[in-house]
Amino acid sequence: MAVPGQVATDSSAKPMRAARFYGKEEIQIKDDIPRPVCGEGQIKVEPAFVGICGTDLHEYLGGPNFSPTSPHPVTNEQCPITIGHEFSGTVKEIGKGVSDKFRVGQKVVVQPTVYCASCGACKVGAENACSSGGFIGLSGAGGGMSEEVVMPEISIMALPPNIDLDVGALVEPLAVAWHAVDASPIADIKEPKCLVMGGGPIGLAVIQVLNARGAKLVICSEVAKKRQEFATEFGAHHVVDPSKEDVVARSLEICGGVNGPDIVFDCAGVPASVKASCNAVKSRGTVVNVAIFEKEIPFNPMWLTFREANYKSVLGYQRKDYLGVLDALGKGTIKPASMITGKIKMQDLVKEGYMPLIHEKDKHVKILVDMKASM
């Protein structure tokens, strides 16, 4: 079976155009990138829309962090690499041995997870935590900001017929949220009450997934005014401004004054949100860390001990999470289209994509690169 991240290229074919990350504050649009070859068990996808992720911004401002500076153990690539890991597209070519459920021209999304399939994590079905893992668009093996991408069949999933390709580019961040909610005890709680720390793209995705998964009450803690409005739009029943109110006290009040939220999802990733999450959760409740921390922070286990609360961390997503999101999109229980706050051409990636998300992040949720407009 083809392993995600192992892709051959054809140096004799006409080269393609792609956005490439070279290092801190250096992205170039190149026209001489070798095209990937669609091998056995693989599908070639023509990207349509690509989302710009917070990880992309961190790479640009202070990287390389995720992007390899020496050959990656799975992709065997290093910077410069083609970027873009949140994307949708259409099937362009189908390799030998692929099932008949795919056809050329079909609308699909790509799960960009790269893994080795042989380490301890992969052996226990936790390929999202592979010791040699990564993502296409961050670790090599191509990326969405290119004319063609090749991945094994298991990494390609069909979009529901009623979902457009631009919304398809939101499936990846929604899958992060689905994985976090699925890892929580939400299914075992009658009428769960939840607190989401942070109203950025992932926090907003968690709010939507919580509503789709039957949460009775969703509280969002967010400082920025525009993101507070987005949180309300996407289903938060209450929004708390932590710069003006005590999140712990206010959450307890909203939940009835006896117990705090059953589950707290920390999507903010700052020291204050960790402490507030642990202090807000009810006795024997669960804190789920969804955020990525760039450096070590203070943590006191006693925040949890005195309430016998649980702390769980999650990473990325798995195929089942993509399938869960796609099913919810098809049924209309998640309607994320208004997360898209801008569409740009690839040649304007830094000026009209990265810069607004860095300097005016409170005005945006997702800026998409329209690859059809870019070529």
What does the pLDDT average to over 161-166? 97
If asked whether residues 119 and 47 sit together in one domain, one would say yes
Residue 298 has pLDDT above 70, yes or no: yes
pLDDT (0 to 100) of residue 363: 87
If asked whether residues 109 and 16 sit together in one domain, one would say yes
pLDDT in tens, 112-125: 999 999 999 999 99
- Residue with the bigger pLDDT between 88 and 6: it is 88
What does the pLDDT average to over 123-129? 96
| Any domain includes 309 | yes
| Any domain includes 15 | yes
If asked whether residues 160 and 210 sit together in one domain, one would say no
| Any domain includes 129 | yes
| Any domain includes 44 | yes
If asked whether residues 305 and 362 sit together in one domain, one would say no
How buried is residue 160: exposed, middle or buried, by Cβ count under 10 Å (0-12/13-18/19+)? middle
If asked whether residues 279 and 207 sit together in one domain, one would say yes
Q: How confident is the model at residue 374 (pLDDT cuts 50, 70, 90)?
A: low
pLDDT in tens, 243-282: 999 999 999 999 999 999 999 999 998 999 999 999 999 9
Q: How confident is the model at residue 181 (pLDDT cuts 50, 70, 90)?
A: very high
Residue 1 has pLDDT above 60, yes or no: no
Final residue belonging to a domain, choices 268, 298, 313: 313
| Any domain includes 324 | no
Which structural domain range is residue 28 located in?
9-170+336-374
If asked whether residues 86 and 142 sit together in one domain, one would say yes
**Beta carbons of 207 and 230 less than 8 angstroms apart:** no
If asked whether residues 39 and 161 sit together in one domain, one would say yes
Residue indicated by tokens 């909610």 = 181
Paired tokens of 296: 């070590």
pLDDT (0 to 100) of residue 8: 86
If asked whether residues 96 and 151 sit together in one domain, one would say yes
Share of the chain above pLDDT 70, in %: 99
pLDDT (0 to 100) of residue 250: 98
Overall domain count for the chain: 2
If asked whether residues 166 and 181 sit together in one domain, one would say no
What does the pLDDT average to over 41-69? 94
| Any domain includes 121 | yes
pLDDT (0 to 100) of residue 285: 98
Paired tokens of 258: 């006896």
pLDDT in tens, 64-88: 988 999 999 999 999 999 999 999 9
Q: Tell me how far apart the alpha carbons of residues 312 and 121 are, in angstroms, rounded to a whole number.
A: 17
pLDDT (0 to 100) of residue 66: 87
If asked whether residues 51 and 131 sit together in one domain, one would say yes
Q: Tell me how far apart the alpha carbons of residues 214 and 152 are, in angstroms, rounded to a whole number.
A: 34
Residue 5 has pLDDT above 80, yes or no: no
What does the pLDDT average to over 221-236? 95
Residue 63 has pLDDT above 90, yes or no: no
- The CATH code of the domain that includes 90 is 3.90.180.10
To the nearest whole number, what is the mean pLDDT of the chain? 95
Q: Find all residues with CB under 8 Å of 273, minimum gap 6, and list them.
A: 197, 198, 221, 266, 291
- Residue with the bigger pLDDT between 106 and 294: it is 106
If asked whether residues 23 and 158 sit together in one domain, one would say yes
pLDDT (0 to 100) of residue 236: 98
What does the pLDDT average to over 329-337? 96
C-alpha closest to that of 290 among 322, 320, 268? 268
- The CATH code of the domain that includes 179 is 3.40.50.720
Q: Tell me how far apart the alpha carbons of residues 13 and 34 are, in angstroms, rounded to a whole number.
A: 7
Q: Tell me how far apart the alpha carbons of residues 265 and 273 are, in angstroms, rounded to a whole number.
A: 10
If asked whether residues 118 and 220 sit together in one domain, one would say no
pLDDT (0 to 100) of residue 2: 65
| Any domain includes 325 | no
| Any domain includes 331 | no
Residue 375 has pLDDT above 70, yes or no: no
